[in-house]
Amino acid sequence: MSDYIIAPSLLSADFARLGEEAVNVLKAGGDMLHLDVMDNHYVPNLTVGPLVCEALRKYGIKAPIDVHLMTRSVDSLINDFAKAGATNLTIHPESTDHVDRSLSLIHKHGCKAGLALNPATTLDCLEYVIDKLDLILIMSVNPGFGGQQFIPAILEKVKKARALIDNSGKNIRLAIDGGINADNIHKVAEAGADMFIMGSAIFTQPDYAKTINTIRNELNK
C-alpha cells in the first residue's frame, strides 16, 4: 500500500517562524499539517488556538490542516477551528460529555471527524460512533508533549483498530501519534496504521526533504 499519509506535527517546529516552517515541511514532502491544540487542563501544556490555524491559511497554506484537540471541552473550539480553516478535527472521547454530538458538529461544518485514544483508553468507545468517523487516532505516547518514547504495547492496539476498521468496511484512516520515527514506522505500518503524525523525528533534522524521503522508503520497504 502506498497510500500513506505523513503529517508533520508543528508542535516541534520553530514557532517564531511557523509559516515558513509549514511551507518548508510541505515542500519537503509532508502531506498535511498536524496542529496540536493543548489547553493546560486536559493536558499539562498550552499551545495554540484557532487564530494560529487562520494565520496559516492567510499565509497561503493550502494543504489539509489536521487539528488535534487536547482540551477539556471541544464544541466551541470545533466551531472556531472549522471557521479558521481546519480540514480534520480530532477529539478525545474524555473531552466531551456527548461524543456523538461533537462528532456530528464536526461534520456539520464540513470537516472530517476523528477520535483520538490515549494509551490507556480502550477501543470500546468506537463501537457506536464508527459510522461518524473519518479518522481514528491512536496515541502511542501520553498526550501533551513532543519528543516522547513510543509505547510498544500500542502496536497490539493498532492491529485491533485495523481489524475493526476492515470489518466495518468504512473508509477510515488509522493514524498514529507519538514517538514515531524512521526506526519504528515500518512496524507500525505493518500493524495497520496508514497515517503517521511525526513531530520531533522531522523537525529536529536539518534537512526535512531527506528525512521525509527516508521515512517513505522505510514505509515502502
Residue 19 Cβ vs ligand DX5, minimum distance, rounded to whole Å: 18
Distance of alpha carbon 68 from the chain centroid: 6
The answer to whether 25 contacts ligand DX5 (rule: CB under 6 A) is: no
Binder among 197, 212, 215, 219 for ligand DX5 (CB under 6 A) = 197
177 is catalytic: yes
Residues in region 32-61 near Zn ion by CB under 5 A: 36
Closest CA to 67 of 42, 50, 43, 55: 50
Residues in region 125-144 near ligand DX5 by CB under 6 A: 141, 143-144
Residues in region 56-115 near Zn ion by CB under 5 A: 68
Region near ligand DX5 per CB under 6 A, out of 5-13, 23-31, 101-109, 167-175:
5-13
| H/E stretch holding 135 | strand 135-139
36 is catalytic: yes
CB 186 within 8 A of CB 218: yes
Residue 36 Cβ vs Zn ion, minimum distance, rounded to whole Å: 4
| H/E stretch holding 162 | helix 154-168
Sequence-distant (6+) residues with CB within 8 A of 141 are 119, 148, 149, 150, 151, 177, 178, 179
Residue with cell 505516547: 141
Nearer to Zn ion, 40 or 220 (CB): 40
Q: Which residues are catalytic?
A: 36, 177
Under the rule (CB under 6 A), what is the footprint of ligand DX5? 9, 11-12, 34, 36, 68, 141, 143-144, 146-148, 177-180, 197-201
